């Protein structure tokens, strides 16, 4: 049975609980680029970090994980001294993880629509629409977040079914539009960063 990249990342993140150094072997120590300033470069740094964290009896719940080509994304609940939510992105090369980004924040909510930061679907469906969805997301980042065309939100967001998991917001296109208007400069910076991640021209 073939072990998928996302299964390897699940095992890696769960090893934060146990301190088991085995799953860290998925990381290519010679090439690994770590974008978390609190973690040392290379798999040896990760193994030491995870072993240290395991002594505080942490809990790691991987809510959802997706694999797309050379990238694995994990949405994770962490309980260290406090409860946090993490987004983890790993880039693979020749079967090993060679780069990592994350964004971790305190758990908040539920929001005004009763949604939490982690509820919702956990499995990818309609895989036949993958390329179409890639194009849609890239276009949203380019048109709305980078170029600031909020008047085109309805080209990308269904006003009747849009569900918002941001703890400070709620469902509905008008709320999203207001948030993007208020945070215009932040949104553009996020958009530019996303543009780099998605390798947009």
Q: Are strands 96-106 and 33-34 parallel, antiparallel or unpaired?
A: parallel
Per-residue pLDDT, averaged over 112-118, amounts to 95
Residue 190 structural domain: 127-197
Evaluate whether residue 24 is within a structural domain: yes
What the block records as the tokens of 17 is 């609980």
Using CA atoms, how far apart are residues 193 and 201, in angstroms rounded to an integer? 13
CATH number of domain containing 88: 3.10.450.50
Residue 99 lies in a domain: yes
| Structure confidence at residue 191 (pLDDT) | 54
| pLDDT above 50 (res 25) | yes
Residue 119 placed within a domain: no
Is the separation of the CB atoms in 120 and 114 below 8 Å? no
Q: Does residue 143 sit in the same domain as residue 87?
A: no
Last residue in a domain, options 48, 75, 106: 106
Q: Where are the extended beta strands (E) located within the chain?
A: 33-34, 59-68, 71-79, 83-93, 96-106
pLDDT band at 41 (very low <50, low <70, confident <90, very high): low
Q: Does residue 117 form part of some domain?
A: no
Please compute the mean of the pLDDT values over residues 156-181 and round it to a whole number: 88
Q: Does residue 144 lie in a domain region?
A: yes
Domains in the chain: how many in total? 2
Residue 172 contacts by C-beta under 8 Å, 6 or more apart in sequence? 113, 159, 162, 164
In the chain, what percentage of residues exceed pLDDT 90? Answer: 50
Q: Are residues 17 and 98 in the same domain?
A: yes
Residues 18 and 102 in one domain: yes
pLDDT of residue 49: 78
Q: What is the pLDDT of residues 75-103, one digit of tens each?
A: 999 998 889 999 999 999 999 999 999 98
Are 76 and 17 in the same domain? yes
**Does 27 map to a domain?**
yes
Q: Is residue 146 one of the residues assigned to a domain?
A: yes
Rounded to the nearest 10°, the torsion over CA 164, 12, 28, 101 is 20
Q: Are residues 38 and 96 in the same domain?
A: yes
Q: 18 and 94: one domain?
A: yes
Do both 95 and 32 map to the same domain? yes
Looking at the fold, whether 9 and 102 belong to one and the same domain comes out as yes
* Average of per-residue pLDDT values in the chain: 85
Q: What is the pLDDT of residue 189?
A: 54
**Domain match, 98 and 30 both:** yes
Indicate if 148 and 99 belong to the same structural domain.
Answer: no
The pLDDT assigned to 198 comes to: 47
Same domain, 11 and 100: yes
| 153 within domain boundaries | yes
């Amino acid at each position: 049975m073939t072990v998928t990249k996302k299964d390897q990342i699940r095992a890696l993140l769960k090893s934060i609980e146990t301190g088991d150094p085995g799953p860290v072997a998925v990381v290519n120590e010679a090439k690994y680029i770590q974008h978390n300033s609190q973690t040392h470069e290379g798999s040896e740094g990760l193994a030491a970090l995870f072993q240290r964290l395991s002594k505080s009896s942490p809990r790691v719940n991987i809510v959802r994980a997706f694999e797309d080509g050379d990238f694995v994304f994990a949405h994770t609940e962490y309980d260290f001294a406090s409860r946090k939510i993490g987004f983890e992105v790993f880039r693979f090369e020749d079967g090993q993880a060679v780069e990592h980004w994350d964004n971790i924040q305190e758990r908040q909510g539920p929001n005004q629509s009763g949604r939490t930061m982690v509820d919702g679907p956990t499995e990818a469906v309609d895989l036949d629409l993958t390329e179409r969805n890639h194009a849609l997301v890239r276009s949203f980042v380019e048109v709305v977040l980078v170029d600031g065309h909020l008047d085109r939100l309805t080209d990308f967001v269904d006003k009747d079914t849009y569900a918002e998991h941001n703890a400070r917001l709620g469902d509905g296109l008008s709320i999203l539009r207001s948030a993007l208007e208020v945070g215009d400069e932040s949104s553009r910076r996020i958009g530019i960063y996303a543009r780099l991640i998605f390798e947009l021209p």
